[in-house]
Amino acid sequence: MKIGKNTVPRTAICTSNEDTIVVRGLDLCQDAIGHLNFADYFFLLLTGRRPDAAASAVLNATLVAITEHGFVPSVQAARMTYAAAPDALQGAVAAGILGCGSVILGASETAGRLFVDVAQRVDGGIPQAQAINDALQQLKAQRQPIPGYGHPLHKAMDPRVARLFAVAAEAGADLRHVHLAQAIEAAIPAVFGKDLRLNVSAAIPAVLLGVGFPVQSLRGVPILARTAGLIAHLAEEAESPSGFALSYQATRELVYDGDAPPGFTPTGSPR
Amino acid sequence: MKIGKNTVPRTAICTSNEDTIVVRGLDLCQDAIGHLNFADYFFLLLTGRRPDAAASAVLNATLVAITEHGFVPSVQAARMTYAAAPDALQGAVAAGILGCGSVILGASETAGRLFVDVAQRVDGGIPQAQAINDALQQLKAQRQPIPGYGHPLHKAMDPRVARLFAVAAEAGADLRHVHLAQAIEAAIPAVFGKDLRLNVSAAIPAVLLGVGFPVQSLRGVPILARTAGLIAHLAEEAESPSGFALSYQATRELVYDGDAPPGFTPTGSPR
Amino acid sequence: MKIGKNTVPRTAICTSNEDTIVVRGLDLCQDAIGHLNFADYFFLLLTGRRPDAAASAVLNATLVAITEHGFVPSVQAARMTYAAAPDALQGAVAAGILGCGSVILGASETAGRLFVDVAQRVDGGIPQAQAINDALQQLKAQRQPIPGYGHPLHKAMDPRVARLFAVAAEAGADLRHVHLAQAIEAAIPAVFGKDLRLNVSAAIPAVLLGVGFPVQSLRGVPILARTAGLIAHLAEEAESPSGFALSYQATRELVYDGDAPPGFTPTGSPR
Amino acid sequence: MKIGKNTVPRTAICTSNEDTIVVRGLDLCQDAIGHLNFADYFFLLLTGRRPDAAASAVLNATLVAITEHGFVPSVQAARMTYAAAPDALQGAVAAGILGCGSVILGASETAGRLFVDVAQRVDGGIPQAQAINDALQQLKAQRQPIPGYGHPLHKAMDPRVARLFAVAAEAGADLRHVHLAQAIEAAIPAVFGKDLRLNVSAAIPAVLLGVGFPVQSLRGVPILARTAGLIAHLAEEAESPSGFALSYQATRELVYDGDAPPGFTPTGSPR
């Protein structure tokens, strides 16, 4: 069935013949395998450009920073899925990735769009303090959270933030969006009446935008990183199962607040 | 609900307090971010060991080798999914990953198990030629394909195979499984009556097993690699849509061979 | 890790003890199995109410109407996924469902929200013609499509639309949203300068809203329906494979418009 | 890229022209919408045959029986996924479906294959008691569980089993596989030294095989049923969130048994 006007697929990423696989204009075997590390190759695929040293350092650092943070919800979902369907590793990884949505890992993208938006207003001649205040007031008026600020565990300072900013500075990355992110952090109390510190979801776009990583693909960074973390967790799950134990623990205090037929009594303690 | 005996989840991968995130015994911020590239960190997470130089070189090379190979079925599935549901990048990536199954990308794991199996028989005192012949005869008797041998496009030699073997040799990796993979290739014609050349799904485990990558997690390598490739394709899809064009082209020669009510005539050319 | 304020899970859907499974206040075995058809049970689970005769007729009709429409993109994605990973039926179904997004099947939900929005404005005292005109002008100003109007194949009238409206009328459903949907169709040419006929994605909410189906769960209807269709397609795929043929056909006219190394020539016709 | 020999896709499920959608030889609008309930239409799509009264009763009953059983792992995975990615209902449903694997819901298919296998041996002249004993001894020798027998909660008798058998008997279904399932239950203690009672995953194939449901698609029944249950849970999750509470509870007793850097102390109680 024809949907839309375009009927011919096109791509500029990869082509091949019997002898050669071409990726972004390079010969995969001659120019990429053994020459680029995996994260750099990801940057090349995504942008069509080889990363410079700063981009390589910063992209690898951001990926390492968010690959793993313990039994977060997406890891739990993946481990429960693997416990139930151990023949399909790819299914358990997919279940975990599906949690990279707007609330949790997608905040990297939303924060990045905020930074780009404020930067564009500043480029258009609005003073930075005013551009920041406008953006925060708008979020407040719409009762939306500030993407990338606040963290349930690290109340004071997510330690990954400082480290990512240090890596970016050492690598010689453009720090404009880092400074912007910090200026937003400083402006939050006046608008929202409380401290909300930069978390890793804001630090990631702040450093990546300074090395030419495209804002449209920011959500790809946590997705790729978490895929690596999920594979490690599923290897542990295969050796030392926790998936069903997690689901058991999760419901020990479950409250049923619906109706029941006359005479029905729950068994012993709540399940 | 309690399923199985274990009711307490356990992990040795990650823990944290308010100041420190610990991953495999390291301080994530002090020891990993900015010090390890992403693939090396993946190796650490998976095995609990820092990769040596050979492991780093080989793992990065295998990931780069299979990240991208054009509009393969999983890329098409992901692009069609994105075209229909562009708000959920993670969903389109997941749809692509779900194709990393036993037939296509899972062949890396199956080939790896074959190599480990033959190597163990050799360690047990069976001459290598006999161990290989036994394994091939068994596959033939079960009418199963030889995992990692044969390729629809690269009839002669998949160029990635030679390159991965060269990288492994240059990096000083243990080449035992590489030599085994080549010996199997040489033995195939006598058993199966035709040439089936090593493809990248056999080359990957052949080099990774020589640097201590766990055979149980081999399927994780194509899953992680393809995730990176899918993110790049979906970035292109967002700019230059092909998803619906692919689905249109796919059905231009579709044959309907079922029943139809009296008087029903298909419209014009088949759809 | 604690995310958000709520730390105790709650539910009003189901509880059980060793003898009895309670669902929405009913004893599953005594009151539901053998007494309710599957779609009616879905309605009960979702709303907490048993459907009346009109709701049963209309919900079953909408589910039947959109379960199947040939090799749509989500079916293609599922069949390709199954061809690559035949051990995991659930993975192929999931890949297909992931295409139930905002552009294609999610249009049912978006159209439903449009009808509810216009109906609320009318309830608030705005004449219906004005409320409709306002809504259409707003979509036009935002350059958004009108959800549920227009269809690539059925230019004149999607035959499912008339049939669903007839079923709703025969069943004695409240037809308010049906009439609203038709009034919107009639008003489109004046605002957009072209005819866009009601398609099945508008007909579904139009009839379901008249039998008390919750607007928040409208996207669940195509998701559930397509799951049934996908399972049928995957049963056919297991017997008569088309997945790889689809991916082959899809790329026969693929255009590569990126760079290539000096001397690279594509093999024969484009792939 | 060409994979396999078949290059032309084929289907016998659905075709259409501008006026008519044909499904399994019927005119969708004239013959199906408003005439068949959803489960019956699923049967038609899958088998090409309209279900008789017994098939309709039994299929609807099995779907109702397993749509919902509380906060099982797949529901938890879906609710956590929705909490993290609320914009993509389809993603959360997909995450839940991915748990319909070999261990949990896939047991319906495995049990069905066991029944068909034993029935075929009996048809071949082997006495039923011997055929059952052979099958059980084989499972014991391979240290495999008996698919569809035993249940963590309902130690005595899963109440859904008796109800499904009663529905099948009342509907006039062929009860051969029901009797076989009961004979296997009776034979288990002698072989395995313990009672393992029929659970719903064995009852489903036992009744469905008696109404002509194809054994190859048995896993589709729990997948379709659970999709309906997941949609209801996600509607509740949208109104009354439990996803993050589940993940918090799940890790309250989490044990970290890996290494930590010198001086690292976990915060307060284990998380």
Which region holds residue D267: left if phi is over 0, alpha if psi is between -120 and 50, else beta?
A: beta
CA nearest B43 in A: which residue? Answer: A232
For residue B208, how far is the Cα from the chain centroid? 12
Provide the β-strand partners of residue C15.
C22
By DSSP bridging, strand B21-23 and strand B26-27 are antiparallel
Q: Do B247 and C250 touch (CB under 8 A)?
A: yes
Render pLDDT for D221-231 as a digit per residue (tens, 0 to 9).
999 999 999 99
Query: Residue C88 is nearest to which of B70, B92, B101, comparing CB atoms?
Result: B101
Which chain B residues touch C86 with a CB distance below 8 Å?
A: 101-103
Q: Using a CB–CB cutoff of 8 Å, tell me whether D186 touches chain C.
A: no
CA nearest D104 in B: which residue? Answer: B3
Q: What is the DSSP string of B37-96?
A: -HHHHHHHHHHSS---HHHHHHHHHHHHHHS--SS-HHHHHHHHHHHH-TT-HHHHHHHH
Judge whether residue B270 has pLDDT over 80: no
Which chain B residues touch A31 with a CB distance below 8 Å?
A: none
pLDDT at D269 (0 to 100): 40
- CA of D89 vs chain A CAs: smallest distance (Å): 10
Report the C-alpha gap between B12 and B4 in whole angstroms: 21
Give me the half-sphere count of Cα atoms (radius 13 Å) on the Cβ side of residue D204. Answer: 32
With both helix axes pointing from N to C terminus, report the angle between C128-141 and C176-192 in degrees, rounded to the nearest 10: 50
In a 10 Å sphere around its CB, with 0-12 CB exposed, 13-18 middle and 19+ buried, how is residue C53 labelled? exposed
Report the C-alpha gap between B43 and B23 in whole angstroms: 12
Report the C-alpha gap between D262 and D271 in whole angstroms: 20
Tokens 């999914």 appear where?
B81
Amino acid letter, residue A172: G
Which region holds residue C260: left if phi is over 0, alpha if psi is between -120 and 50, else beta?
A: beta
Q: Strands, E, within chain D: which ranges? A: 10-11, 14-16, 21-23, 26-27, 255-256
φ and ψ of A68, to 5 deg = -145, 130
Contact A192, A136 (CB under 8 A): yes
3-class SS at D224? helix
The pLDDT confidence band at residue C156, using thresholds 50, 70 and 90, is low
Amino acid letter, residue A185: E
Q: What letter does residue A268 receive in the DSSP assignment? A: S
Q: Do A9 and C261 touch (CB under 8 A)?
A: no
Give me the half-sphere count of Cα atoms (radius 13 Å) on the Cβ side of residue B230. Answer: 36
Q: Do B3 and D251 touch (CB under 8 A)?
A: no
Q: Do D7 and C248 touch (CB under 8 A)?
A: yes
Which chain C residues touch A255 with a CB distance below 8 Å?
A: 8-11
Q: Do B261 and D10 touch (CB under 8 A)?
A: no
Judge whether residue B271 has pLDDT over 60: no
Report the C-alpha gap between A6 and A12 in whole angstroms: 16
Which chain A residues touch B16 with a CB distance below 8 Å?
A: 69-70, 153
Whole-Å CA distances, A123 to A115, A146, A173, A181, A205: 12, 22, 19, 16, 19
Report the C-alpha gap between D212 and D225 in whole angstroms: 19
The pLDDT confidence band at residue A269, using thresholds 50, 70 and 90, is very low
Report the C-alpha gap between B101 and B96 in whole angstroms: 11
Render pLDDT for D145-160 as a digit per residue (tens, 0 to 9).
899 998 765 566 789 9
With both helix axes pointing from N to C terminus, report the angle between B176-192 and B200-208 in degrees, rounded to the nearest 10: 140
Q: What is the mean pLDDT of residues C248-268?
A: 89
D positions 239-268 inside 8 Å of A (CB): 243-244, 246-247, 249-254
pLDDT at C268 (0 to 100): 47
pLDDT at C3 (0 to 100): 73
Report the C-alpha gap between D15 and D7 in whole angstroms: 19
Report the C-alpha gap between C80 and C69 in whole angstroms: 17
Report the C-alpha gap between D105 and A84 in whole angstroms: 8
For an interface test with C, the pick among D1, D6, D14, D38 (most C C-beta atoms closer than 10 Å) comes out as D38
Which chain D residues touch C106 with a CB distance below 8 Å?
A: 90
Q: Do B219 and A89 touch (CB under 8 A)?
A: yes
Judge whether residue A156 has pLDDT over 70: no
Q: Using a CB–CB cutoff of 8 Å, tell me whether A169 touches chain B.
A: no
Question: What's the longest Cα–Cα distance across chain D?
Answer: 75
Q: What is the mean pLDDT of residues A54-59?
A: 98
Q: Who's near C35: CB < 8 A, 6+ residues apart?
A: none
Q: Who's near B239: CB < 8 A, 6+ residues apart?
A: none
3-class SS at D110? helix
Higher-confidence residue: A179 or D145?
A179
Render pLDDT for D238-257 as a digit per residue (tens, 0 to 9).
999 999 999 999 999 999 99
- CA of D102 vs chain C CAs: smallest distance (Å): 9
Report the C-alpha gap between A97 and D267 in whole angstroms: 28
pLDDT at A152 (0 to 100): 61
What number of other Cβ atoms are within 10 A of residue B53's Cβ? 11
Which chain D residues touch A91 with a CB distance below 8 Å?
A: 98, 101
Contact B18, A154 (CB under 8 A): yes
Task: List chains touching C (3+ CB pairs under 8 A).
Answer: A, B, D
What number of other Cβ atoms are within 10 A of residue A5's Cβ? 8
Contact D36, C65 (CB under 8 A): no
Tokens 């705005």 appear where?
C126
What number of other Cβ atoms are within 10 A of residue D96's Cβ? 35
Provide the β-strand partners of residue B15.
B22
Tokens 């030679």 appear where?
B162
The pLDDT confidence band at residue D271, using thresholds 50, 70 and 90, is very low
Q: Do B235 and A229 touch (CB under 8 A)?
A: no
3-class SS at C104? coil
The pLDDT confidence band at residue B103, using thresholds 50, 70 and 90, is confident
Contact A212, A94 (CB under 8 A): no
Q: Do B98 and C85 touch (CB under 8 A)?
A: yes
* R_g over Cα of chain C: 23
pLDDT at D1 (0 to 100): 63
Contact B73, C243 (CB under 8 A): yes
Q: pTM to 2 decimals?
A: 0.95
Q: What is the mean pLDDT of residues A232-250?
A: 96
Report the C-alpha gap between B192 and A244 in whole angstroms: 45
Whole-Å CA distances, C147 to A86, C31, C188, C204, C206: 40, 39, 12, 12, 12
For an interface test with D, the pick among A15, A74, A79, A80 (most D C-beta atoms closer than 10 Å) comes out as A80
CA nearest A168 in B: which residue? Answer: B34
How many helices, marked H, and strands, marked E, lie in chain D? 11, 5
CA nearest A258 in C: which residue? Answer: C12
The interface pTM score, or ipTM, of the predicted complex is 0.95
Render pLDDT for B190-202 as a digit per residue (tens, 0 to 9).
999 999 999 999 9
Q: Do C86 and B103 touch (CB under 8 A)?
A: yes
Query: Residue A100 is nearest to which of D72, D74, D85, comparing CB atoms?
Result: D85
Q: Using a CB–CB cutoff of 8 Å, tell me whether C6 touches chain A.
A: no
Which chain C residues touch B83 with a CB distance below 8 Å?
A: 73, 103
Query: Residue B250 is nearest to which of C81, C88, C246, comparing CB atoms?
Result: C246
Q: What is the DSSP string of chain B?
A: ---SS--S-EESSEEE-SS-EEETTEEIIIIITTTS-HHHHHHHHHHSS---HHHHHHHHHHHHHHS--SS-HHHHHHHHHHHH-TT-HHHHHHHHHTT-STTTTTHHHHHHHHHHHHHHHHHTT--HHHHHHHHHHHHHHTT---TTB--SS-SS--HHHHHHHHHHHHHT---HHHHHHHHHHHHHHHHHSS---B-HHHHHHHHHGGGT--GGGTTHHHHHHHHHHHHHHHHHHHHS--HHHHHHHHTTT-EE-S---TT----SS--
Q: What is the mean pLDDT of residues B180-206?
A: 95
- CA of D88 vs chain B CAs: smallest distance (Å): 6
pLDDT at D270 (0 to 100): 39
Task: List chains touching B (3+ CB pairs under 8 A).
Answer: A, C, D
Which chain B residues touch D24 with a CB distance below 8 Å?
A: 258-259
CA nearest D94 in B: which residue? Answer: B91
Render pLDDT for A181-204 as a digit per residue (tens, 0 to 9).
999 999 999 999 999 999 999 999
Judge whether residue B1 has pLDDT over 80: no
C positions 27-86 inside 8 Å of D (CB): 28-30, 32-34, 36-39, 41-42, 45-46, 57, 59-61, 63-65, 67-71, 83
Q: What is the mean pLDDT of residues C217-227?
A: 96
Which chain B residues touch C250 with a CB distance below 8 Å?
A: 71, 76, 246-247, 249-250
Q: Do A83 and D72 touch (CB under 8 A)?
A: no
Q: Provide the H-helix boundaries in chain C.
A: 38-47, 53-66, 73-84, 89-97, 107-123, 128-141, 159-171, 176-192, 200-208, 220-239, 243-250
Task: List chains touching A (3+ CB pairs under 8 A).
Answer: B, C, D
The pLDDT confidence band at residue A268, using thresholds 50, 70 and 90, is very low
Whole-Å CA distances, C95 to A66, A134, B32, B80, D39: 26, 41, 35, 10, 22
Judge whether residue C155 has pLDDT over 80: no
Q: Provide the H-helix boundaries in A98-239.
A: 107-123, 128-141, 159-170, 176-192, 200-208, 220-239
Contact A109, A205 (CB under 8 A): yes
With both helix axes pointing from N to C terminus, report the angle between B128-141 and B107-123 in degrees, rounded to the nearest 10: 140
- CA of A249 vs chain D CAs: smallest distance (Å): 5
